[in-house]
């Protein structure tokens, strides 16, 4: 398969705007230090860009779960 991304929530959602909380929920992130694996698509990259100050992203091989 293609490549994927491991996305880790590093900072709290408390006090963040509703749109940023919705983006994190869309990525499947709920708790600090929780990580998810997602496919490396333009849509996911756009979501990451909206909350880049809250997450840490690592590329992985082998694709992701969508």
Residue 61: the pLDDT is: 83
Q: Under DSSP, is residue 44 helix (H, G, I), strand (E, B) or coil?
A: helix
**Ranges of the chain whose pLDDT falls below 70:** 1-2, 62-66
Q: Are the C-beta atoms of 38 and 45 separated by less than 8 Å? A: no
CB atoms within 10 A of CB 46: 10
Domain over 4-60 is classified CATH 3.30.1390.20: yes
Domain definitions of the chain by residue range: 4-60
């Amino acid at each position: 398969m293609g490549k994927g991304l491991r996305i880790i929530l590093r900072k709290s959602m408390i006090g963040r705007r509703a749109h940023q909380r919705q983006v994190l929920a869309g990525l499947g992130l709920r708790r600090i230090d929780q990580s998810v694996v997602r496919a490396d698509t333009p849509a996911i990259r756009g979501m990451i860009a909206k909350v880049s100050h809250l997450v840490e992203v690592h590329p992985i091989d082998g694709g992701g779960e969508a």
